Amino acid sequence: MTPEHARNVTVDLDLHGVVGIRLVDPSPADVTVVQRQLALVERPLARDPDVVVRFVDDLLISSLRFVEYQKSGFTDDGFYVLRSGKRAVRVRIAFEGIGDRCEIVCQRGVRAVPFLMSIVIMTALARGCVPLQASAFAYEGTGVLVTGWATGGKTEALLAFSARGARYIGDEWILLTGDGRRMYGLGGLIPLHDWHLRQLPAVRSRVAASRRMLFGGGRGIDYVHGVLSRGPLGRSSPVRMLGAALPALRRQLNVQMDPADVFGSGSGPFEGVPQKVFLMIGHDLRSYRVDATEPGDVADRMVAANLYAQQLLFDSYIAHRFAFPKLRSKLLERAESLQLGILQRALAGKDAFVVRHPHPCDLGKLFDTMAPHCAAPRASSVPDAVAGPPAAVREMNFGIELHV
């Protein structure tokens, strides 16, 4: 690391004018790390930043007290995150400032700034935008927002439409403005699994040969395990251990693709007008079906899914409360009701559907199921009154009668 690269350097990133991020004294590698995390390019801010990430060579911590040993701790100066994934890190995060001006101090050379995406999207919430676990695309001029639980089939819907001329808006996190008129993509790469690629030959040809071989190896292990477990050694512990490790292995077997490689020339700008809302639910049946639902119902469910996706941030916030009981974050404590309010307003009046599909699913059939509902937006999508409790939806609950 050369000493001259990083003194009084600032790099600004702007998330669609909603959240401003300033990096102070980063090394070029640090800038790359943050840009990859947020999928944003440098753009000078004409306003004060909302999130400041300060990079230092050595973050000295004196008289550290642990909250959770070697995971988090605090000093008189602030709260420290000491582990990110399986990696030991030293990062000071001012949780109480999230939504106002949050300062993060970390050592140069981190592989990822912990909680950066979470902090950015919570800041967006404070600015009246609601983050959604979703993917989004524009298909034949219609803006489509696809939400669901973590592995509900959002990416699958995106891929299904990608092969049929849709324009990419975003995957993973989508930012929805409070008036429901705009949606912005957040985050860069699309995680593709082996079974996705097999259905997308055009994309598959762009995957490096080495990755394709890895996928082949993964299928090979699957096959070997299948044969072994049916054989006389099927109950032996090595075979069972292999079987237990396979789901984790399969999860590892994905390739992070640039949207441009998946969508060809049809990608960017990463924003659009949300007109149709789909809630994806995978089921253990072979059928594909779509049902109309109330947007308010989608809002209720997605607030829970959002909070679930943010659980690590909230875990750390609880540790922060242990460290500094008097430094509360009003934003994090009100996050749920804030999200629900904005989301209900933003989604009101939109056409909302529940899609049920098998997993893994046939992308062509998924497209055939969803496409008829993506056409011809309503004449005007001026929000009506906020939808009340969707009684009809409750009774149906996607075909589930819950015994109360």
Partner 1 sequence: MLDSQPFADQAGAALPAPAPPGEHRETVADAGAPTVQHTTVDYDIHGVVGVRLVDPAPADTRFVEGFVGRLRQPLGRQPDIVVRFVDRISVRGIRWLHVGQSGFGRRGLYVRCEGARQGWTCMRLDRAGARCEILSEIGLGFVPHLDPLIRLAALRRGFIPLHASAFVFAGVGVIAAGWPHSGKSSSLLAFAERGASYVGDDLVLLSGDGRRVLGLPRPLELSGRQVDGLAVARERRGRARLVLDRAARQLERLSTRGLLLHPGDSPLRQVLGRASSALQRRLGAQLPLEALFGDRVALEARPRTVFLMMSHAADGACVEPGELSVSVERLAASVQRDIRGLEYLYLASRFAFPWLRNELIENAGPIAAGLLRTALADKEIRVVRHSYPPALTDLYDAMRPYCGAPDGPEMSR
Least distance CB 311 / partner 1 (angstroms): 6
**Residue 65 touches partner 1, criterion: CB under 8 A:** yes
Least distance CB 143 / partner 1 (angstroms): 24
Residue 34 burial (10 A CB sphere; 0-12, 13-18, 19+): buried
Instruction: Between 90 and 276, name the residue whose CB sits nearer to partner 1.
Output: 90
Instruction: Between 65 and 330, name the residue whose CB sits nearer to partner 1.
Output: 65
Mask 221-260, x = binds partner 1 (CB under 8 A)? Answer: --------------------------x-------------
Exactly one of 88, 209, 379, 385 binds partner 1 (CB under 8 A); which one? Answer: 88
Instruction: Between 101 and 283, name the residue whose CB sits nearer to partner 1.
Output: 283
State how far the Cα of 259 lies from the Cα of 168, in Å rounded to an integer: 7
**Closest by CA position to 44, among listed 9, 13, 8, 7:** 13
Q: How many residues bind partner 1 (CB under 8 A)?
A: 54
State how far the Cα of 145 lies from the Cα of 356, in Å rounded to an integer: 16
**Residue 330 touches partner 1, criterion: CB under 8 A:** no
Question: Residue 69 gets which letter from DSSP?
Answer: T
**Residue 311 touches partner 1, criterion: CB under 8 A:** yes
**Residue 66 touches partner 1, criterion: CB under 8 A:** yes
**Closest by CA position to 317, among listed 58, 79, 149, 102:** 79
Mask 261-300, x = binds partner 1 (CB under 8 A)? Answer: --------------------xxxxx-x---------x--x
Tell me which residue has tokens 């609880």.
Answer: 318
**Closest by CA position to 170, among listed 193, 136, 144, 145:** 136
**Residue 356 touches partner 1, criterion: CB under 8 A:** yes
Phi, psi of 111, rounded to the nearest 5 degrees: -80, -25
Interacting residues with partner 1 between 23 and 62 (CB under 8 A)? 61
Least distance CB 284 / partner 1 (angstroms): 5
Least distance CB 285 / partner 1 (angstroms): 5
State how far the Cα of 318 lies from the Cα of 316, in Å rounded to an integer: 5
Exactly one of 1, 41, 46, 150 binds partner 1 (CB under 8 A); which one? Answer: 150
Least distance CB 330 / partner 1 (angstroms): 15
Residue 26 burial (10 A CB sphere; 0-12, 13-18, 19+): buried
Instruction: Between 321 and 350, name the residue whose CB sits nearer to partner 1.
Output: 321
Exactly one of 45, 56, 249, 307 binds partner 1 (CB under 8 A); which one? Answer: 307
Instruction: Write out the DSSP string of 146-201.
Output: EEESTTSSHHHHHHHHHTTTPEEEESSEEEEETTSS-EEEE--PEEEEHHHHHT-H
Pairing assessment for the beta strands 289-293 and 65-68 based on DSSP bridges: unpaired
**Residue 397 touches partner 1, criterion: CB under 8 A:** yes
**Closest by CA position to 53, among listed 4, 89, 20, 96:** 20
Q: Residues interacting with partner 1, by CB under 8 A?
A: 61, 63-69, 73, 86-90, 149-152, 247, 281-285, 287, 297, 300-305, 307-308, 311, 315, 318-319, 321-322, 325-326, 356, 359, 389, 394, 396-403
